Amino acid sequence: MIPKIDTELCTGCKSCIEVCPPLAIVVENEKAFIDPEFCEECGFCVAECIVNAIAIEFPSSTKK
């Protein structure tokens, strides 16, 4: 699964960019976005984000 970024929580700190091997994350206007074309679904960014703005949503887990 490609992680989802909650732009409400994202502070634009860019920590996630530094841990993303394929450089799939960009920060614009202090909000991070993942380019699904480049994401390798490694999950490193999820572990890195200190405000927990990045999460992997599994289809079988919590639904809104």
For ligand SF4, the closer of residues 46 and 60 by Cβ is 46
Q: Is 47 among the residues that bind ligand SF4 (CB under 6 A)?
A: no
- 3-class DSSP assignment, residue 19: helix
- Which of 49-61 are b and which e, b meaning 16 or more Cβ less than 10 Å from the residue's Cβ? beeebbeeeeeee
> What is the nearest approach in angstroms of ligand SF4 to the Cβ of residue 59?
17
* CA–CA distances in Å: residue 35 to residues 8, 24, 38, 39: 18, 5, 6, 6
Q: Is 40 among the residues that bind ligand SF4 (CB under 6 A)?
A: yes
> By the criterion CB under 6 A, which residues form the site for ligand SF4?
3, 5, 10-16, 19-22, 24-25, 27, 32, 34, 39-45, 48-49, 51, 53-54
